[in-house]
Amino acid sequence: MRNRFLDERTARDIDTLVAKILRGLGGPEPPLVLDDVRALQKLDRQYYSSIDDGPLREFVSRAYIGAKQVFARPTLILEVVRKRSLKALYLPDRKRVLIDSSQPKLKWRWSEAHEIVHDGVPWHQDAMFGDTEYTLSPACHEQIEAEANYGAGRLLFFQDQFREFASGSEPTFELIKSATKRYGNTMTSTIWRLVEALDIPALGIVGSHPRGSADPNRPAQQCRYFIRSRTFIGRFGSVTEDAACAVLRAHSSFRRGGPIADGDVILVDDRGERQLFHLESFYNGHEALTIFVHRRPALVRMPVSGVGSQKNASIRARR
Ligand SMILES: [Zn+2]
């Protein structure tokens, strides 16, 4: 999945909602307490799982948009939830957030904030019922999801306060760790927010171990999130996901925990100029979390390895 930036007006509208929530809480200090947000927004929270799907059954019987019943077959929503492995739902008629309790607990926080934003954005009310593709065209669904994710990030990271916090230090893993601690969110969401907040070219990758699994039967390197800053998109549009992953792989160790890469690499910008990036990658035992941060133009001609050259001539890595 790739990050996408909202148009200015939509972002502003969602920020108005987030600001209202933070104001309503009396301008709290991080980390945000979601129990307080739910109390403020008069929202209820329940959990469901494949073992206990009771809350979903209740939803099914009330799946209406206006006066129109959306699902002819009552079991359909259960099938949809399972098939698409939805992590959370929001039931407008009950003012209720439903969280899939089988996903890792750390991730509940993001899901809950995401659904809280769905609740607060007026134009999401009619558009979304359980985030299914049945009520929305894929493009519209994607837009609404991007909006809810934007709002969740702005809420959990206290809007521009995070940018101020981050701008005081170099964008490194040290900063990501301290921001993770301060805001109480996952490292993945912290990387996402950091890369989007940076006004220099930066790239975040979250995926499987770049050197593949220890188990030969498991698939090779996979990229789950490919996150680019605005200036990266503007200046390095030709750097593809595959090419960036190839650079990461070439610079990673086989270690199965902790830091797996830390060094300078070169990416070639859209004008054909070689640019120096600092690459850091950390394997948490489950996924590799990676950032590339632009440093400066690479003035000295350095020997290049052939990484990525077969697939994409615009990218080269230095060993
Ligand atoms: Zn959603």
Centre of ligand 1 from the C-alpha of residue 283, in Å: 28
Residue-wise pLDDT for 183-213, tens only, equals 999 999 999 999 999 999 999 999 999 998 7
Centre of ligand 1 from the C-alpha of residue 131, in Å: 5
For every residue of 22-74, DSSP letters joined together read: HHHTTSPPSSP-HHHHHHHTT-EEEEE-SS--HHHHHHHHT-EETTEES-SST
Average pLDDT over residues 141-157: 92
Instruction: Tell me what pLDDT residue 165 has.
Output: 95
Centre of ligand 1 from the C-alpha of residue 166, in Å: 27
Q: Out of 135-149, 156-170, 204-218, pick the least confident.
A: 135-149
CATH for 161-297 is 3.30.450
Neighbours of ion ligand 1 (CB under 5 A): 131, 148
Q: How many other CB atoms are found less than 10 A from the CB of residue 231?
A: 14
End-to-end CA distance of the chain: 28
Centre of ligand 1 from the C-alpha of residue 117, in Å: 9
For the chain, what is the mean pLDDT?
Answer: 84
Centre of ligand 1 from the C-alpha of residue 51, in Å: 22
Residue-wise pLDDT for 95-114, tens only, equals 888 888 888 888 899 999 99
Is the pLDDT at 94 greater than 70? The verdict is: yes
Which tokens belong to 16?
């108005």
Centre of ligand 1 from the C-alpha of residue 233, in Å: 25
- Maximum CA extent, the chain: 68
Centre of ligand 1 from the C-alpha of residue 77, in Å: 15
Centre of ligand 1 from the C-alpha of residue 69, in Å: 20
Centre of ligand 1 from the C-alpha of residue 115, in Å: 6
Average pLDDT over residues 287-308: 78
Centre of ligand 1 from the C-alpha of residue 148, in Å: 6
Instruction: Tell me what pLDDT residue 163 has.
Output: 95
Measured CA to CA, the distance from residue 157 to residue 193 in angstroms comes to 8
Centre of ligand 1 from the C-alpha of residue 267, in Å: 34
Measured CA to CA, the distance from residue 130 to residue 80 in angstroms comes to 9
Centre of ligand 1 from the C-alpha of residue 306, in Å: 41
Q: Out of 99-103, 156-160, 303-307, pick the least confident.
A: 303-307
Average pLDDT over residues 275-293: 96
pLDDT band at 307 (very low <50, low <70, confident <90, very high): very low
Q: What is the pTM of this model?
A: 0.84
Centre of ligand 1 from the C-alpha of residue 188, in Å: 18
Centre of ligand 1 from the C-alpha of residue 146, in Å: 8
Residues 6+ apart with CB under 8 A from 222: 207, 208
- The ranges assigned to domains in the chain are 8-156, 161-297
Higher-pLDDT residue of 139, 153: 153
Centre of ligand 1 from the C-alpha of residue 57, in Å: 19
